[in-house]
A and B are shown apart, each in its own frame.
Chain A
Amino acid sequence: MVKGAAYIDYVLVSKDKLKEELAERLNKMQEIIKKVEEKNAGNDKVLIKDNTLAHLKETFIIALNYLAVCNSSKVDEYKKLIFDKLAYIRENKLLTLAQYKEAYQLLEQILAV
């Protein structure tokens, strides 16, 4: 059943809300990094996979949605970097902690757009 304008408000996300969501996800990623580092004595070669990787992929998709509403000259550059990372994940199905940290840094830069 269509609820008209109320539904439109419900289903749509503005740039600010996407930014908020991205920031929350970055906090979660920071927690993960801390937890993995503690567990593995700072070993950057430890592998990230399964649900943590799924969370990262979902975060990349949200970052793409965020970039889609950004009117910035940086959009194409960041889009390409996300694509490269997604292509790598798709092929290898895992990341090292060091690569996960790089992904975090990229998302942090995107958040600043």
Chain B
Amino acid sequence: MDEATQYVYQVPDLRAMFLMDFGNVIRQIVDLLTYSDISADTKTFDKEELRNKLRAAISYALALLASTWGYSMSEQDQEGVKMAKAKLTALFNRVVSNSQLTYLELLDIYFTLIQQVSIILNYKTPVPRPRPGNYEIT
């Protein structure tokens, strides 16, 4: 068995791998969208960081979409996946070509991204929790 084939056999589930990468970056994005400009935190909002993470998340979402190719799907789901591909590609172009995006535009991109990924994953989304239960509300 050559090295490349061996590698493919070692990867148990590509879909899970891309989902893990997507989930990790989404948590960081939610963190940036939620906490970055709250006075309790000293960290200021970094638009460029958010933009870069969104770009990464869209790339993982496209990889996730590619890894579902060939799964048994109804015709309606296949149409949904095709549409998701077009929308994700448009999002990617929007993030890459415009460095002047505002916070709300970036939030809009996040929303559309989650919406499309939920279609790819049959109406489920990755866990949207940035920091589960480690801060106290006064």
**Which residue of A49, A51, A58, A87 is within 8 Å of B104 (Cβ)?**
A87
Q: Does B4 contact A (CB under 8 A)?
A: no
Report if B118 contacts A (CB, 8 A). yes
**What number of B residues sit within 8 Å (CB to CB) of A?**
39
Give complex CA distance A87, B23 in Å. Answer: 25
Q: Using a CB-CB cutoff of 8 Å, which residues 61-82 of chain B contact chain A?
A: none
Judging by beta carbons under 8 Å apart, are B16 and A7 in contact? yes
Judge whether B40 and A68 touch: CB under 8 Å. Answer: no
Asked if B121 CB lies within 8 Å of chain A CBs, one says: yes
Instruction: Find out whether the CB atom of A65 lies under 8 angstroms from the CB atom of B125.
Output: yes
Inter-subunit contact A69/B124 (CB<8 Å): yes
**Other-chain residue from A3, A8, A14, A87 in contact with B123 (beta carbon distance below 8 A):** A14
Beyond known contacts A2-B16, A13-B124: 13 more, CB 8 A cutoff: A2-B20, A4-B13, A8-B19, A13-B125, A14-B124, A18-B128, A51-B138, A54-B38, A54-B135, A58-B30, A65-B125, A68-B125, A69-B125
Residues of B within 8 A of A (CB): 11-13, 15-17, 19-20, 23, 30, 33-35, 37-41, 103-104, 107-108, 110-111, 114-115, 118, 121, 123-128, 130, 135-138
